Copies of this chain bind each other. A is one copy, B any other.
């Protein structure tokens, strides 16, 4: 595909500044872009690339200062870039409709229209697949699972029994959905397994990263709300409830029965204890260890997690502590000096 910059701007609903006749033939990140590509610039860390990128044009936010290249000005450059990528690259995942002869399909499986079932997929009994579902190679779909329309499942995904997946969900390779919750009853020295007889439900438009694990509920349902995006290697415990449109970055761990609100951001490697609530739109900083509930629209960080401003102040104070220890010693000496003098004075009075 090729088009003029001003044609592209019209599609993206942006405004050209500079030469609108430049021909755009592709789309790339600012560091990788070559002549003919359009790129975008949002992250201030990449400002310096604006001068050196080989891209023929750049998508910029309305309030961004002009650069020497032709640009498209727009409210949301990320979104515009997304549209440009779709336009120039298309959908890269093409799968063939139909069932590969090597797939193993159970009894009473209901399959919608235009479904793709890849090689060596295993589908157990009583599964329901909506229209346009794609299950790539070697996926396992347990008994009684239901998968909504347009959901795309990459190779080697495991859905245990009774898992319910919404529409347009994307599940990446190696994800395990519906594994047993980690529940045991202590019986003397020994732990006895508490059977995990609940399930997992995943809302529409959720994305689940590679090698993520989401445990089924002990009883009831572990819930992932509509539109939530989960990065790789995240652990979600039994009976956790995650709200809508939340972001859970790689390697986060959420313990059993905790509730995550909507619009929440959990940064990378965060750990959250069980049985607490993270309020709507809360933000938890990377590697934070959250030990108690977090109110809505607040930001916490550190271990144990505290309001971000408090954590920052504590850390800033800590940096001054070695100096304080020295100064304290000096002050102590000065006070000793004053005390000695006083004693001397009193002694001389006594004379």
- Quick one: copies of this chain in the complex? 3
Q: Which residues of B contact A192 (CB under 8 A)?
A: 79, 82
Q: Which residues of B contact A304 (CB under 8 A)?
A: 315
Contacts A138-B120, A219-B29, A286-B289 hold; do A174 and B174 have CB atoms under 8 A apart? yes
Pairs of residues from A and B, 4 with the lowest C-beta to C-beta distance, nearest first:
A32-B220, A78-B185, A179-B210, A176-B210
5 further interface pairs, Cβ-Cβ under 8 Å (given A318-B321, A335-B338): A138-B140, A182-B232, A189-B245, A213-B232, A253-B268
Q: Which residues of B contact A118 (CB under 8 A)?
A: 122
Q: Which residues of B contact A286 (CB under 8 A)?
A: 271, 273, 289, 291
The answer to the question of A129 belonging to the interface, with a C-beta cut-off of 8 Å to chain B, is no
Q: Look across to chain B and name the residue whose beta carbon is closest to the beta carbon of A140.
A: B155
Task: Give the A interface residue count (CB, 8 A).
Answer: 121
Residue interface bits A189-217, CB-to-B below 8 A is 1, else 0: 11111110110000001010111010101
Contact among B78, B174, B195, B325 for A92, CB-based, below 8 A: B195
A251 to B252, CA, bound (A): 9
In the complex, which of the residues A78, A190, A207, A334 has the most CB atoms of chain B within 10 Å of its own CB atom? A78
The answer to the question of A269 belonging to the interface, with a C-beta cut-off of 8 Å to chain B, is yes
The answer to the question of A85 belonging to the interface, with a C-beta cut-off of 8 Å to chain B, is yes
Contacts A82-B194, A195-B92, A334-B335 hold; do A313 and B322 have CB atoms under 8 A apart? yes
